[in-house]
Structure 1
Amino acid sequence: MGIVGASGWEYYVPYREDVAAALEELRARVFRDEDYYWSGDHPLGEDAPTPRPATIEELWEDEGVQEEGTHSILDMERVLRPGERPRVGAVRPVQPDEACRLTGTDILTREHVEAIEPLVGEGWSGRVAVLHDGAGRPSELYFWGISGD
């Protein structure tokens, strides 16, 4: 039996100007560490778990994953560019006006995370924010979202 309903997830990674590359590195790490939901770990009517796929591509060939997702960053395929409309399976960067509206600043830190979390919106989507250190320098990327069925 799978997870019922969507799941929220979040990750902090070191700052990298190329957010798309940071997303790919994060996805590779989550896959390598097996830090995602896999229906084969809980097979119905079978005695032993099904071996996990060897690649992310193989993972997405699984019918269960296509229907239920992984309840992780693996459900996100790309980073949207400014001005692109939100879409399923995409991470949208937090824009300065959104940050200012919710926190009063566009220089976000970990202290602002709780205030910006509602920006994620609907399921099967994610957001990413640049978080800064005490001196105002970019230090982390914060990815968060909701996915899975």
Structure 2
Amino acid sequence: MGASAWDYYVPYQEDLGAALEELRHRVFVAGEYYWVHGDDWLPEEERRPLPSSLDELWADEATQHSGTHSILDVFHVQREDEEPEVCAVQPVTAAEARKATGAERLTREHVPAVQGLARERGCGRCAVLHDDHGTPQEIYFWGWSGD
């Protein structure tokens, strides 16, 4: 199948980890992810309903292999000073923002310029986006995952 790009905007909150958890919950409850056992190529009798919990989703061996091609494939937000790790989200640093856009406080207009910072499959990025007055407004999460 190959990896899939995903991206989400959520209202700003200071705790990036809490924002990620709320987003993951929302995506799971809405069923907005790839479920390997619900794929159209499967015969109807082999399809299974969406899991009832994240634990059930990740207990499935096929899901562990293929992922969900969504924010559900990342589990926590790293500190800016940590090396990128698979299944994690790394915040954009001020230095990265400056290099990509010329500005430290990113806005929605900067999103196309920073999207290339998510290069590794299975890793996500996040950036706080500001309004024209420099006030944080939302958090942008994006990345690549799935197999």
Normalised TM-score (structure 2): 0.96
2:36 pairs with one of 19, 22, 39: 39
- 1:113-124 pair list within 5 angstroms: 113-124=111-122
Runs of 4+ residues over 6 Å off in structure 1: none
Corresponding residue to 2:56 among 52, 55, 58? 58
- SS in structure 1 at match of 2:79: coil
The 5 Å alignment of 1:94-133 reads 94-133=92-131
Partner of 1:135: helix, strand, or coil?
Answer: coil
Instruction: Report the aligned-residue RMSD.
Output: 1.1
Give the drift of 1:47.
2.8
Q: Is 1:29 equivalent to 2:26 in the alignment?
A: yes
Deviation at 1:70? Answer: 0.1
Structure 1 position 46, deviation (Å): 4.2
Paired-residue identity, %? 55
Measure the CA separation in 1 of the matches of 2:65 and 2:98. Answer: 37
Contact 2:80 2:92 survives alignment (8 Å): no
Structure 1: gaps (5+ residues): none
2: CA distance between counterparts of 1:120 and 1:114? 12
How far residue 49 of structure 1 moved from its aligned partner, in angstroms, is 2.6
Which residue identity lines up with residue 33 of structure 1 in the other structure?
A
User: What secondary structure sits across from 2:45 in the alignment?
Assistant: coil
Q: Distance in 2 between matches of 1:45 and 1:18?
A: 43
